[in-house]
Amino acid sequence: MHNQNFFFNILTFDWLQEKQTFYFGLEEIGHCQKIHKSIFPNEIETIFPGVTTDGTEVIYTTFGGEREGFTPLEIDLPDENPHFAKRYYDRQINYYFRAIKEKIVKVGFIKENQVWLPVVPLETNTANTIESPFDFYERFSLKVQIKSVSSYPEIQLSYDGKSRVLKRSLADIIGDISPINFKWVLHKGQLYKFDTLAENGIDDYENVFPVVNTKLFRALGFEFAAPSKKKKNKYLSYLQAINDFKTNHLDTEEFKAIIPLHEAGFLTVNPATINRTNQDGNQMLFGNGKLHVAPYYGIKEGGPYANTPFSKIHFFLIFHKDDFKAASDVKSHLEKGFEWYKGLQKFVKILFHTEPGFSIQFTDKENPLAEIEDTLNNRQFNPDLKYFAIYITPFGRDTTDLDKKEVYYKVKETLLKRNIPSQVIDPKKMALQGKDFTNSLTNISVAILAKLKGIPWRLQTPVKKELIVGVGAFKHIDLDVQYIGSAFSFNNNGSFNRFEYFMKHELDILAGSISNQIKEYVAVNNAPERLIIHFYKTMSDEELQPIIAALENLGLSIPVFIVTINKTLSKDLVAFDQSLAGLMPQSGTYISIGNNKYLLFNNTRYTADVIKDTEGWHFPIKLKIDCTHKNQLQEVRVINDLIDQVYQFSRIYWKSVSHQNLPVTIKYPEMVAQIAPHFESAEIPHFGKDNLWFL
């Protein structure tokens, strides 16, 4: 590994050297803060005897302000309950920015402070400039943590991007916009949840301005801009933003009077905490024994690892009459090629054939489902053939019209019920991409192969006796419900077995499903040596216990590893490698951040060379590792192996030849959970349980 010079987006500061006097009460009197028993100071029993054992859940504090009826207690913060110390410093930062500097401050779930700074619009001399309907704010979070990665109290300073606040008031837009679209609002320099306006006594709605979320943005009739092909270096822009905030707002005598920051600046990462995954994990195995780090070149040079097992395949197209040319072009591209793409047969070894007159042309663009189903019901399907549908959709998944969006999902479902996998193509995106549609064709080809049970590529890993189960989730903005889709299950070489799908509260079904997968595994392979669960959040005892019970019922006392994989790529904690141009650490680098937590850099920077902007500048993902056999967590080799596995499982994403930095154990279930709730029965047809139809 090259000589690293890593640093975190963390600032350290000195403890207050002298004991401080705090004031506490058992009842809420005036303006004070409620603190849970987990945050009680160590010596709280000296002023309230028995308070930690008599069932008291909360007490109240003014922190440093005297209050009649409150009792003083001297506290030495460096030796105090770290949760109480954190709360104190959070409160100091909040008071400084909100009361002294009069900034907008939003308080998060763990009392971290997010400071909103107005973005000053750039001056322009263009007379025709259209004024934006929004005010923009840049958001910065200051999260206090006690000795997390250093020997001091720390501030994790993160840049959370921009937020938009509508310039029109709530009173002005409520006639046209349903209140279901509002979540946060701004009132006289303070943020409130929309649902709490009444309890806060706010009813002057002409002074209430909605913070724009995705639902509101769509409801207002705005459309999202197409993403740029050239991806900006997020590491450079992120560091620039937090450096500017630090210089302008934290490196001041005023702020340092309450939080005495160290002069050294951002915290250097201890080199002893930095490691790398096995670099063989970058290599994937393609056809003819070809090894390569890049899927496109691997499949181009070696072909797919395993061809589709179906030899007699009939493709057919489904399209609106206005999209006849687009459908013809898609057929031609897949059959004969387009630009440098040489067609489905040359790229993924699938013979492309469409039977004349078998494709479906519909006339009702608004509701094509009835026509499509009627035609399918009257078609003669040959059981000796494998059918595959290519649906040229008049409405993409990103349409703002929910009824039109539903058609997209219903067509997928009606085909799935007939054991027909499908590939959806948006003709508008196709036209927009022009010659660049060649890139999409390579992705489409890989997805078609996977849906036809071929294996585009696999991991170059010796097969072990272990079962890997991935559980992921997707929260539907439109439905406001969180669903879980569970990818059951994988062997350690990335071979997909099957999956189940269920809702968030169905923990018993989750446990039963994992139990069934273990039974199936045991029947074929004998008992696995360990069970590894990739979970989208920290797994609670309530979620884990039924799985342990299921293993006991099978007579298995194998270790169960739970690897929590933070679905939201880590923007709160980032590390920079200032010895590399662009600051992004090499792929496979991981840093221990204490308590069995790790920061894993998963990108396409396989060497120290600068990467192409089109590849993206991925932020790290956060991992937390736990085990039912705690002694296993002390084994360095075991931990390295589990992190290697997360890293490798991000390499077998078959929706595209582009790199993904989330493993498919989390990504695939999320994709299932994104689609399945839209199905009429909210159930996945049986055929779909062991098929990657959702790619």
The torsion of the CA quartet 528, 530, 535, 537, rounded to 10 degrees, works out to 160
The HSE-up count of residue 342 (CA atoms within 13 Å, CB side) is: 10
Reported as a single tens digit per residue, the pLDDT across 415-467 is: 988 999 999 999 888 888 888 889 899 999 999 999 999 999 988 887 778 88
Work out the number of other CB atoms within 10 angstroms of the CB of residue 197: 18
Q: How confident is the model at residue 569 (pLDDT cuts 50, 70, 90)?
A: low
Residue in the structure block whose two tokens are 């005892």: 541
Reported as a single tens digit per residue, the pLDDT across 142-166 is: 999 999 999 999 999 999 999 999 9
DSSP β-ladder status, 386-392 and 313-320? parallel
Q: What is the DSSP string of 198-224?
A: TTTT---GGGEEEBP-HHHHHHTT--P
pLDDT at residue 325 is higher than 90:
yes
pLDDT confidence of residue 399: 66
- The answer to whether 60 touches 28, Cβ cutoff 8 Å, is yes
CA 172 to chain centre: 35
Listed in sequence order, the residues at least 6 apart from 473 whose beta carbon sits closer than 8 Å to its beta carbon are: 482, 483, 484, 485, 504, 536, 537, 567, 669, 670, 673
Q: How confident is the model at residue 406 (pLDDT cuts 50, 70, 90)?
A: confident
Q: How confident is the model at residue 99 (pLDDT cuts 50, 70, 90)?
A: very high
Structure tokens at 240: 């620039």
- Identify any residues that bridge with 562 across adjacent strands, giving them in sequence order: 533, 626
pLDDT confidence of residue 4: 64
Q: What is the DSSP letter of 211?
A: B
pLDDT confidence of residue 567: 66
pLDDT at residue 169 is higher than 60:
yes
- Identify any residues that bridge with 10 across adjacent strands, giving them in sequence order: 156
Phi, psi of 589 (to 5 degrees): -70, 135
pLDDT confidence of residue 309: 92
- The answer to whether 314 touches 387, Cβ cutoff 8 Å, is yes
What is the model's pTM? 0.87
Decide: residue 434, CB within 10 A, 0-12 exposed, 13-18 middle, 19+ buried: exposed
- Encode burial over 383-422: b for 16+ CB neighbours within 10 A, e otherwise: eeebbbbbbbbbbeeebbeeebbbbbbbbbbbbbbeebbb
pLDDT confidence of residue 591: 94
Q: What share of the chain has pLDDT > 70, as a percent?
A: 89
Please confirm whether the linkage preceding 650 is cis (ω < 30° from 0): no
Listed in sequence order, the residues at least 6 apart from 168 whose beta carbon sits closer than 8 Å to its beta carbon are: 133, 209
Distance CA 384, CA 387 (A): 10
Average pLDDT over residues 353-374: 90
Distance CA 542, CA 227 (A): 41
Higher per-residue pLDDT: 120 or 612: 120
Residue in the structure block whose two tokens are 């002023």: 47
pLDDT at residue 481 is higher than 70:
no
Average pLDDT over residues 30-41: 90
Average pLDDT over residues 376-404: 84
Amino acid present at 357: G
Average pLDDT over residues 404-421: 86
DSSP β-ladder status, 284-285 and 458-459? antiparallel
Average pLDDT over residues 161-176: 92
Amino acid present at 690: D
- How far CA 105 is from CA of 21, 93, 102, 115, 237, in Å, comes to 26, 10, 9, 5, 23
CA nearest 189: which of 165, 217, 157?
A: 165
Decide: residue 20, CB within 10 A, 0-12 exposed, 13-18 middle, 19+ buried: middle
Q: How confident is the model at residue 397 (pLDDT cuts 50, 70, 90)?
A: low
pLDDT at residue 11 is higher than 70:
yes
pLDDT at residue 177 is higher than 70:
yes
Average pLDDT over residues 108-133: 75
- The answer to whether 496 touches 490, Cβ cutoff 8 Å, is yes
Amino acid present at 547: I
Structure tokens at 400: 């703002």
Q: How confident is the model at residue 480 (pLDDT cuts 50, 70, 90)?
A: low
Reported as a single tens digit per residue, the pLDDT across 487-525 is: 566 666 666 666 767 666 666 677 777 777 777 777 777
Distance CA 288, CA 285 (A): 9
- Average pLDDT over the chain reads 86
- The answer to whether 467 touches 518, Cβ cutoff 8 Å, is yes
Angle 83-86-87 from CA coordinates, rounded to 5°: 90
